[in-house]
Amino acid sequence: MPKIVLVHPQIPPNTGNIARTCAATGTELHLVGPLGFEISDRYLKRAGLDYWPHVALSYHNDIDEFLQVAHRRGGRLIGYSVRGKKNYLDCEYLTDDWLLFGSETNGLPPELLAKCHLTSFIPMEQGKVRSLNLSVSVAVVLFETLRQLR
């Protein structure tokens, strides 16, 4: 099963909504610190409602700690960015992929994007809109991944 990785998320409701999506799909959620909020943040919990006990959640203190875990477990790192190289619909997803998303304000750090096996983007038809909300982006990519794998 692919895994969702949020690197330095800043907005608690986005992370809560992503956690709910992960709970609904049985997808692991990995949070890479530092975070822009406390894990116990009431907005985070409210957005996830009562789904938190059903989320396979892992926390990594920093990118290096996350990369060690990912390397040990295996699988490709796919980084999502407005500057990604491949349309997410043209990717062929694998069951052990790590789907990486950056913070709402800065995206994925360039040094992490450089370590990705593949970088991808969600196309925007309207030139005035540069990106989608983080929780929407994760859901779009995750459901396409699951569609392909099932």
Residue set of the binding site for S-adenosyl-L-methionine: 102, 122, 131
The length of the chain is 150
Rounded mean pLDDT of 10-26? 92
pLDDT for the residue 39: 75
CA distances from 118 to 26, 33, 65, 75 (A): 24, 22, 20, 12
The domain made up of 3-149 has a fold known as: Alpha/beta knot (3.40.1280)
**For all residues of the chain together, what is the average pLDDT?**
91
Assess whether pLDDT exceeds 80 at residue 113.
yes
Residues forming the annotated binding site?
A: 102, 122, 131
Q: Please state, in angstroms and as integers, the Cα–Cα distance from residue 150 to each residue in 15, 35, 143, following that order.
A: 25, 32, 10
Question: In this structure, what is the dihedral angle of CA atoms 124, 126, 129, 132, given to the nearest 10 degrees?
Answer: -40
Question: What pTM was estimated for this model as a whole?
Answer: 0.93
User: pLDDT tens digits for 31-72?
Assistant: 999 988 777 656 556 655 567 788 999 999 999 999 999 999
pLDDT score, position 41: 53
